[in-house]
Structure 1
């Protein structure tokens, strides 16, 4: 426990995405009133971006949550603005508008910048690009397209959404009895979704084969024009009618903080920014190579524990970030649940694939605190009527410690992890 007589530690969280919100929720649980938190973000809403992959197919839109409500629930001050620079010696950040905010602990959770990898491809970055992909599907349905290539670019990228787009496109073509449609995936990976391990990759391979999707594995692609996919180094090409590609992710360099390759923030195993005191980072903007919401949430949990320890909460100490990869793969006709230990040498046993949820609540973003909180908020927003003449009422969320994995001994494939307590 902490000493309630101590002055709360001023914690500034920059970024209102997965990593930023998970940090605030975890701090609320671990440190309580030992911290006085401020959320710095230019956004007014938190959008669950992984669900935007459904929007081109006229499926439910991604959920949106007002950040004012979230800040209220975690008792954080909401400051509208962008992070422009940091003065680590003075422990001050400056916003894009020139305002200064003092901090005693800074958490940078700005995410990465998604930039188009190819000038002649339709880039899918989520919601803003849903309409362009929807137009492609309309052309497909009208018989104007027959060959569509989905391309994972070289560099930092999270490939799972591209597999979802390809699988749902193939399912749409099949449902409309368009047998001549050819769907292909080009990826530098040596196996489909190899990051999830052998068992999951084998299952995805079978899924792609059943869908009639052609795989070009271990290939770096160039798109010299809108109808050609070329392999680099020079190793042939093939003709297509349209190319859909993921963006390439690059860091967001911040004046006053170090930058690793491609502008990402270098962090150590506890997610502390290397060479800078009292600054931590979590999410896609860090140098950790896997860019995914669940991983960002786990980094945020490590950051929150380190910051809570810095705030004087007894019994806590900074601990290494130990990633566990969890993913929901939408196929158009169902969902595959994938899980893999990224570190720890568990081998093939670490790779699990299931037709049923492997964690609860079953969320695209498997955050220990964020997933249960959003599930509670969904229920609250759906049932609450506006109070006459009043404002929002904070949700009373139980932010207890995580429960153990529930599964029969020796049968991890049947286990369901409880993400929150």
Structure 2
């Protein structure tokens, strides 16, 4: 009887572990099932360019069913694990829960936004962790420009043209930089708006941005953003956002229609409910082979797990580390099935890139620091070749090549959030 491998999560860990098994397993050796609420994996490094409109949203995702040949896919959400009976419980889109029996279970559930108890944040803020949020933010920013260009109310105008991002890590810096670059680029189509009226604010609690890259690289990014008029508040926290009025810890108060919360992530809430060991930050506790402590056949990697690194710490939550963890995890599953010893995860990062808009980026590759157009081109070349399948690579390159000679689109498709609006209006006038 073939072994049953269940993989919960369709992000980096789920996709790349399944791909490794797809290539390494012998015919009939194991049945692999991937469980994920959506039938695609989001290639997260490309989300900032989805938000700025330089990349088609569908091209920043990998369709799981099309890529994972011979792998069963279940569209649903993991709701529980019975480690004694080796059963994973899954809630599908509709109908009763499913009980999936497993011989090996992989948990790659990723992370969610880490919200602080800031009054008004849940009501006024938006994250930047999903494709939907990236697409929404683009339409939202363009809608603010439309509002500002059409109103004579100075207070409404100031509020619409104030954009605040809380969190100066990768996600916050890249999202703000791309969206600000887009907004400035499209202002030629809004003669009613003076570029100086737009206010872009980055709020960071620490004394520097981009703490996971070298200080020199972070300084280069600061210089680029500051030169574009972006207001960077270091050592500052958001204290309140009730009613859209933002109160910062440095005493500043102002109104803003746009509040993007990108101040860290935490493991999915379900992780703490599984009865498995976790660390002080709520991540699954695993050994160097990524096997969950105290278990024989449960493995975990990515943002939901504290995977040890060679230096005695924990692997950083980056895309390149998650991919390599997944590939090693796939090898370890095959080794375990064949009675061989699983190997520890070892990986040293190749470098980092931070996009700051069109033709603007900073990066560090094998110790060499890059900035400007060279870093921007190197980043694009790297990610285009790393996204799974040549199909996606060609689509991404096509978007970039077609868009290079032209500016950003000013089309606001926010009406897609209410696709039945026109129908309901017509029904109301029968």
The one of 267, 272, 279 aligned to 1:251: 267
- Measured after TM superposition, the shift of residue 30 of structure 1 is 4.1
Q: Distance in 1 between matches of 2:176 and 2:206?
A: 16
Note the 1:335-346 alignment, pairs <5 A. 335-336=360-361, 338-339=363-364
Q: Which moved more, 1:249-258 or 1:279-288?
A: 249-258
User: CA 1:192–1:247 in 2, change beyond 3 Å: closer, same or farther?
Assistant: closer
C-alpha offsets along residues 211-238 of structure 1, whole Å, 9 cap, x if unaligned? 222222233322333222322xxx4334
User: CA 1:112–1:380 in 2, change beyond 3 Å: closer, same or farther?
Assistant: closer
User: CA 1:115–1:188 in 2, change beyond 3 Å: closer, same or farther?
Assistant: closer
User: CA 1:43–1:30 in 2, change beyond 3 Å: closer, same or farther?
Assistant: same
Q: Which moved more, 1:180-189 or 1:49-58?
A: 49-58
1:13 maps to which residue?
Answer: 7
Note the 1:18-417 alignment, pairs <5 A. 18-33=12-27, 34-62=29-57, 63=59, 64-72=61-69, 75-96=70-91, 97-114=96-113, 117=116, 118-125=121-128, 126-129=130-133, 130-140=135-145, 142-143=148-149, 144=157, 145-152=160-167, 159-175=169-185, 176=187, 178-225=195-242, 226-231=244-249, 235-242=250-257, 243-246=259-262, 249-252=265-268, 253=271, 254-261=273-280, 263-287=282-306, 290-312=316-338, 317-322=342-347, 324=349, 327-336=352-361, 338-339=363-364, 349=367, 355=375, 362-363=382-383, 371=387, 373-376=388-391
User: CA 1:127–1:230 in 2, change beyond 3 Å: closer, same or farther?
Assistant: same
User: CA 1:19–1:149 in 2, change beyond 3 Å: closer, same or farther?
Assistant: same
C-alpha offsets along residues 40-94 of structure 1, whole Å, 9 cap, x if unaligned? 223223333443333444433322333221221xx32223332222222332222
C-alpha offsets along residues 87-114 of structure 1, whole Å, 9 cap, x if unaligned? 2233222223443222222111111233
Q: Distance in 2 between matches of 1:110 and 1:60?
A: 26
- Measured after TM superposition, the shift of residue 285 of structure 1 is 1.8
Tell me, what secondary structure is at the counterpart of 2:49?
Answer: helix
Contact 2:113 2:127 in 1 (8 A): no
Tell me, what secondary structure is at the counterpart of 2:248?
Answer: strand
Q: Distance in 2 between matches of 1:249 and 1:284?
A: 9
- Measured after TM superposition, the shift of residue 271 of structure 1 is 2.1
Tell me how many residue pairs correspond in the alignment.
Answer: 354
- Measured after TM superposition, the shift of residue 178 of structure 1 is 0.7
Q: Distance in 1 between matches of 2:342 and 2:7?
A: 20
Tell me, what secondary structure is at the counterpart of 2:303?
Answer: coil
Please give the root-mean-square deviation of Cα atoms over the aligned residues, in Å: 3.4
User: CA 1:58–1:14 in 2, change beyond 3 Å: closer, same or farther?
Assistant: same
User: CA 1:180–1:380 in 2, change beyond 3 Å: closer, same or farther?
Assistant: closer
User: CA 1:29–1:319 in 2, change beyond 3 Å: closer, same or farther?
Assistant: farther
Q: What runs of 5+ residues in structure 1 fail to find an aligned partner?
A: 1-6, 154-158, 342-348, 383-421
Q: Distance in 1 between matches of 2:41 and 2:348?
A: 23
Contact 1:198 1:351 in 2 (8 A): no
C-alpha offsets along residues 132-187 of structure 1, whole Å, 9 cap, x if unaligned? 5522343246352343321129xxxxx32321232234324543251232222111
User: CA 1:359–1:106 in 2, change beyond 3 Å: closer, same or farther?
Assistant: farther
Contact 2:53 2:138 in 1 (8 A): no
Q: Distance in 2 between matches of 1:359 and 1:319?
A: 29
Q: Distance in 2 between matches of 1:380 and 1:332?
A: 20
Tell me, what secondary structure is at the counterpart of 1:271?
Answer: coil
Contact 2:10 2:41 in 1 (8 A): yes
- Measured after TM superposition, the shift of residue 203 of structure 1 is 2.1
Q: What runs of 5+ residues in structure 2 fail to find an aligned partner?
A: 150-156, 188-193, 307-313, 398-430
Contact 2:114 2:265 in 1 (8 A): yes
Q: Distance in 1 between matches of 2:195 and 2:182?
A: 9
Q: Distance in 2 between matches of 1:43 and 1:89?
A: 28
Contact 2:16 2:326 in 1 (8 A): yes
TM-score scaled by length of structure 2:
0.70
Tell me, what secondary structure is at the counterpart of 2:389?
Answer: helix
